[in-house]
Amino acid sequence: MRFWLGASFVDTDQFLELARAAERCGFDTLTLSDHLFYADFATPYPYSRSGRPRWDARTHWPDAWVTIGAMAAVTTSLRFSPNVYIAPARDLFTVAKQVSTAAVLSRDRVTFGVGVGWCKEEFVGTGQDFHTRGRRLDAMLPVLRSLWAGETVTLDGLPELSISPTPARPIPVYVGGDSDAALRRAARLGDGWIGNRIYTEEQLDTVLDTLRQHLSESGRTEPFDIVAPLAVLPDADTYRHFAAKGVTATMAAPWWLATPEEKARYGEGTLELKIATMERFAEEVIAKL
């Protein structure tokens, strides 16, 4: 079982120290989310009962690839992934060049966590079609892999082309989302799957059954990573239980479970609180696995 640090909603000026602490504590990957702007969205947010986002205009959403580049410069082994990057809200070449550059600068420590997104307004803002986002992502992923491999590709209306720089190793592609379409896309085109909510065991079992069905239909026999945020209290034996189900990594933000004593000592939302709870998580959970 590997541990990914879920760093959504973190203030931008905390990321570099958070990355250093994550590497020191034994986390495998640091993740951050992707949003372009805040507005009074008409599109319902799919992960709350109210349909309203859990954040407001003051919440930081730094650019994923700029932030990953900065964190890579102050670490040596920690990996990085968006959770998830809304690639079809951008054009193919913006995505190809940003991700490839981040992979080169980090010396192959980037995972491409990708999804189709839910917010129509962000697609309108970038001039991309919201309603075809799934089909466009399906078409985009094989071309991205070819470009990142340094290959020449042919696209309608353009001469043969390639990009540079490109990484020394293939960039793993992990597809996010738990709709049937997302799970089918992960099975056909991904190296792994990332859950997009915090799952109870019953919820996860349903997702895993569907994912395995699609993997079988796609004829996949090679190793396939499953990154599942879990609605469990941190415990080594519990994580072993989920590892036996095929979960290869989970996501944690230890400061969500800070004790009252820790909050009183370090203060709500502080970098000091985040690092203290990460160190406790590392001692109580990561070290035992």
In the sheet that holds 112-115, the strands lie side by side as 79-82, 29-32, 2-6, 249-252, 225-227, 192-194, 173-176, 112-115, 85-86
- DSSP SS3 for 118: coil
| Signed CA dihedral, 243, 77, 71, 65: sign only | negative
Determine the Cα–Cα distance for residues 205 and 219; give it in Å rounded to an integer: 21
**Predicted pLDDT at 209:** 97
Band the pLDDT of 47: cuts 50, 70, 90: confident
* CA-based nearest residue to 234, from 267, 197, 280, 196: 280
Average pLDDT, the chain: 96
**Predicted pLDDT at 45:** 87
Pair 195, 227: CB distance under 8 Å: yes
Percent of the chain residues past pLDDT 70, beyond the cut = 100
CATH number, residue 204: 3.20.20.30
For residues 11-22, give the mean pLDDT.
Answer: 98
Helix (H) or strand (E) holding 116: none
For residues 5-29, give the mean pLDDT.
Answer: 97
Pair 198, 230: CB distance under 8 Å: yes
Give the total number of structural domains in the chain: 1
Band the pLDDT of 46: cuts 50, 70, 90: confident
**Predicted pLDDT at 173:** 98
**Predicted pLDDT at 140:** 98
Which domain covers residue 185, as residue numbers? 2-288
Strands (E), 120-231: 173-176, 192-194, 225-227
**Predicted pLDDT at 271:** 98
**Predicted pLDDT at 287:** 95
**Predicted pLDDT at 199:** 96
Render pLDDT for 133-171 as a digit per residue (tens, 0 to 9). 999 999 999 999 999 999 999 999 999 999 999 999 999
**Predicted pLDDT at 110:** 98
Render pLDDT for 75-107 as a digit per residue (tens, 0 to 9). 999 999 999 999 999 999 999 999 999 999 999
Would the pTM of this model clear 0.85, i.e. be above it?
A: yes
The yes-or-no verdict on residue 193 having pLDDT over 90 is yes
Render pLDDT for 222-248 as a digit per residue (tens, 0 to 9). 899 999 999 999 999 999 999 999 999
**Predicted pLDDT at 129:** 97
Going by DSSP bridges, is the β-strand pair 29-32/225-227 parallel, antiparallel, or unpaired?
A: unpaired
For residues 48-52, give the mean pLDDT.
Answer: 86
